[in-house]
Amino acid sequence: AQSVTQPDIHITVSEGASLELRCNYSYGATPYLFWYVQSPGQGLQLLLKYFSGDTLVQGIKGFEAEFKRSQSSFNLRKPSVHWSDAAEYFCAVGGNTGKLIFGQGTTLQVKP
């Protein structure tokens, strides 16, 4: 069955510190992988996506993610977090079925 697991429900980091949000997926074929960010009261904004090719993908707002097929992971990273990065982050997996399966989300809190 297709699924996405975000093991960390809530993460707190200090402003300026590095960030890694974990995402593990289960998918029967070559996955398309996505990270979205949702600020309070807002819709979801696409941060980055992986379809094929280079396993390290760059996104908006200084985020990057690395696809590791052997670990079924697609972790999101940022070298230096800003207070404005505080939000809910969702990992999602899709493919040629047209359906996106979302993880439960990780709430990021940024300490000044």
Partner 1 sequence: DTAVSQTPKYLVTQMGNDKSIKCEQNLGHDTMYWYKQDSKKFLKIMFSYNNKELIINETVPNRFSPKSPDKAHLNLHINSLELGDSAVYFCASEGRYNEQFFGPGTRLTVL
| Residues at the contact surface with partner 1, assessed by CB under 8 A | 32, 34, 36, 38, 42-46, 49, 51, 88, 90, 94-96, 98-100, 102, 104-105
Q: Measured at the alpha carbon of residue 21, what is the angle toward residues 15 and 27, in degrees to the nearest 5?
A: 165
Minimum separation from the CB atom of position 65 to partner 1 (A): 14
Token pair 């230096």 is found at: 80
Q: CB-wise, 43 or 112, nearer to partner 1?
A: 43
Closer to partner 1 by Cβ: residue 51 or 83: 51
CB of 109 to partner 1, least distance (A): 14
Distance CA 23, CA 4 (A): 7
Q: For residues 59 and 64, give the distance between their C-alpha atoms in angstroms, rounded to a whole number.
A: 6
